[in-house]
Amino acid sequence: GAGVSQSPSNKVTEKGKDVELRCDPISGHTALYWYRQSLGQGLEFLIYFQGNSAPDKSGLPSDRFSAERTGGSVSTLTIQRTQQEDSAVYLCASSLEGRGSGNTIYFGEGSWLTVV
Amino acid sequence: AQSVTQLGSHVSVSEGALVLLRCNYSSSVPPYLFWYVQYPNQGLQLLLKYTSAATLVKGINGFEAEFKKSETSFHLTKPSAHMSDAAEYFCAVEGGGTSYGKLTFGQGTILTVHP
């Protein structure tokens, strides 16, 4: 596609439920990132995928968070047993090459998650 | 560890006035530096980036930023603000060491432009 596509754009879920957020990166981009943007916390790195390498999961805040990337393209971020503090905008991004390249990272419009 | 500090969470200017958004970074190696803009209910859009070429970087919409190694700064400027510049601006650094290639963002600066 022309840009990074994320779905759903908005999700309201009950505390304790699981949610899945999907990201479709720009075609041909080998690197994929998930960030979380919440009020007062700025933009937090969550996880990074580069090609077939093991993902960098160092930013995931707890073991309730997981992500996978299938076929080097689409990625799904899963949050289990959601808590109110998980409410945030989850941003996906992709770049042509990965880290250390200075490549432009292109962001999707985000998935706004509200846990009630 | 690398970090980014944006001085001023809110900046307000009059239309036609100079825009100056401040960014200071820390990084153990020469970094890549970026400015992103986020309009309401939209994703982040790249304004400009520094990748060790010219220290004065020109971006979209008339913005530019100057990399000053001695001051560890990468301030964003625009000579004359437009109403359409009202948005949130994020400075980011991609550095090295244990933070190799990880993009770290500042807390953001909300720019308000008054008529």
Interface test with B, best of A23, A35, A47, A107 (most B CBs within 10 A): A107
Whole-number pLDDT of residue B2:
76
CA dihedral (B16, B49, A27, B85) in degrees, to 10, reads -10
pLDDT tens for each residue of B40-52: 878 899 999 998 7
Interface test with B, best of A105, A106, A112 (most B CBs within 10 A): A105
Phi, psi of A72 (to 5 degrees): 70, 15
Q: Give the one of B49, B100, B104 whose C-beta lies nearest to A102's C-beta.
A: B49
Whole-number pLDDT of residue A104:
83
Short-list A73, A50, A3, CA closest to B42: A3
- A105 secondary structure, DSSP code: P
Partner B contacted by A48 (CB < 8 A): yes
- From its phi and psi, is residue A58 left (phi > 0), alpha (psi between -120 and 50) or beta? alpha
Q: Do A42 and B107 touch (CB under 8 A)?
A: yes
First to last CA, chain A: 33
Q: Is the pLDDT of residue B99 over 60?
A: no
Residue written as token pair 């958004």: B21
Q: Identify which has the larger pLDDT, B112 or B27.
A: B112
Residues of B in contact with A45 (CB under 8 A): 102-104
Partner B contacted by A100 (CB < 8 A): yes
Interface test with B, best of A99, A103, A106, A109 (most B CBs within 10 A): A99
Whole-number pLDDT of residue B98:
58
Say if residues A91 and B44 touch (Cβ distance below 8 Å).
Answer: yes
Tokens matching residue B85: 């510049």
pLDDT tens for each residue of B3-38: 899 999 999 999 999 999 999 998 766 678 999 999
pLDDT, averaged in runs of 10, over chain A (116 residues):
89 97 94 88 88 88 95 93 96 83 85 96
Tokens matching residue A11: 């999700």
Contacts of B96 (CB under 8 A, 6+ apart): A100, B27, B28, B29, B31
Q: Which amino acid is at B46?
A: L
Pairing relationship of beta strands A5-7 and A111-115 according to DSSP bridges? unpaired
Partner B contacted by A90 (CB < 8 A): no
Contacts of B32 (CB under 8 A, 6+ apart): A102, B49, B50, B51, B52, B93, B94, B95
Whole-number pLDDT of residue A103:
77
Q: Is the pLDDT of residue B78 over 90?
A: yes
Partner B contacted by A11 (CB < 8 A): no
Residues of B in contact with A33 (CB under 8 A): 103
